Amino acid sequence: MPPENYALLSKVELFAPLSGEELRDIGRRIPDIGLRKDRIFYSPGHRGESFFLLLAGRMRIYRVQDAREITISLIDPGQFFGEAAIAGLPQRAYAQALEPARVAIMNRKTLQSLIISRPEVGVAMTEILARRLGVQEDRMEEVGLMEIPSRLACLLVRMVEAESVTEDGDSVIPTHYTHQILATMVGCERPALTRALRDLRQAGAIWLSNHRIHVADLAVLKEYSRRN
């Protein structure tokens, strides 16, 4: 990894227990690559000895079932993905760059060596994976029990908490999510997603401008997210 990218490693949640010198040592041992927008980084069945650290940009992890895409998760800078390789298993999903991205590639043996020398890294990984499992369980419950507008409201509340910026008093989700991608995240077809956006807009919870979602009333959005 070029020295100018070492600073990006300090944002990787997995490496929070490490010192600056330890991060620089890791940076000297792992490569990183750039990805253009929309590139498929890996596909189901890919088997390798490395997992991945997102340094910049955003990645989407999704599966295809009956010709229909289902988004499993979004990966933000500082998060890792492709963790099946840690257990020597093939990947079960697609990884796609939602925007230009930079990804560091960490060999499984390098991770194992790091965990032996710094057990705190192993503890951090366990905690991160446990949180992800909890989020996936919540999403499965939403799909099973909630109507589409409520599922969309739950998703938007999480996005506000994770990535929003403030503009003129509104919480704005800065990433451009197409209706199709939002539908794959909520678990519905695109026309149903468009109707759900309309419902939330008419309720005064959100409005749309320049392909971005503005949350005008977070309380209304949260009220929708609690409906079955």
pLDDT digits (tens, 9 = 90+) for 191-208: 999 999 999 999 999 998
Looking at the structure, tell me whether residues 127 and 70 fall in a common domain: yes
pLDDT digits (tens, 9 = 90+) for 153-186: 999 998 888 888 888 778 898 888 889 999 998 8
> Is-contact 73 185, C-beta < 8 A?
no
- Looking at residue 90, which CATH number applies to its domain? 2.60.120.10
Q: Give the helix ranges, DSSP H, for 146-189.
A: 148-163, 179-186
Residue range of the domain that includes 156:
147-225
Final residue of a domain: which of 142, 173, 200?
A: 142
Whether residues 166 and 217 fall in one domain: yes
Instruction: Look up the pTM and report it.
Output: 0.80
Total structural domains within the chain: 2
Per the rule left: phi > 0, alpha: psi between -120 and 50, beta: everything else, 165 is: beta
Tell whether 164 and 56 lie within a shared domain.
no
Asked if the model's pLDDT at residue 17 lies above 80, the reply is: yes
For residue 205, give the CATH number of its domain. 1.10.10.10
Report pLDDT for 161: 84
Sequence-separated (6 or more) residues with CB below 8 Å from residue 133: none
Q: 11 with 67, same domain?
A: yes
* Separation between Cα atoms, residue 193 and residue 47, nearest integer Å: 34
Q: Are residues 26 and 104 in the same domain?
A: yes
For the chain, what is the largest distance between any 2 Cα atoms, rounded to a whole number of angstroms? 56
